[in-house]
């Protein structure tokens, strides 16, 4: 699987975990050059607190386009150390 935005490959891995239709890529599969920490956090009742990354490609910013759960709840343990995408990022 690949996560692509603005023709840049943000992440690529044959080892994704699919939850609620989202592919969670291993952190080591993302290209860190395209990511910067965001101050955004949200809460999911069964997964826990999510943190976000802005995706930056050629100076264009896709705010909060990637998210992860630093300390997921037990029910979501399979996504610890993984990153998922939305906001126009294509996962193919």
Domain segments of the chain as ranges: 2-91
pLDDT at residue 58, as a whole number: 97
pLDDT in tens, 30-66: 999 999 999 999 999 999 999 999 999 999 999 999 9
Q: How far apart are CA 90 and CA 92, in angstroms?
A: 6
Average confidence score pLDDT of the chain = 98
| Per CATH, domain 2-91 is 3.40.50.300 | no
pLDDT band, residue 92 (cuts 50/70/90): very high
Distance of CA 75 to the CA centre of its chain: 18
The answer to whether 81 and 26 have CB atoms below 8 angstroms apart is yes
């Amino acid at each position: 699987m690949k996560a692509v935005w603005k023709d840049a490959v943000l992440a690529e891995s044959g080892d994704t975990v699919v939850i609620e239709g989202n592919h969670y890529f291993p952190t080591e599969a993302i290209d860190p050059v395209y990511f910067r920490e965001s101050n955004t956090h949200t809460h999911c009742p069964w997964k826990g607190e999510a943190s976000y990354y802005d995706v930056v490609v050629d100076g264009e910013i896709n705010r909060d386009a990637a998210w992860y759960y630093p300390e997921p709840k037990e029910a979501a343990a399979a996504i610890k150390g993984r990153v998922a995408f939305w906001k126009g990022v294509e996962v193919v």
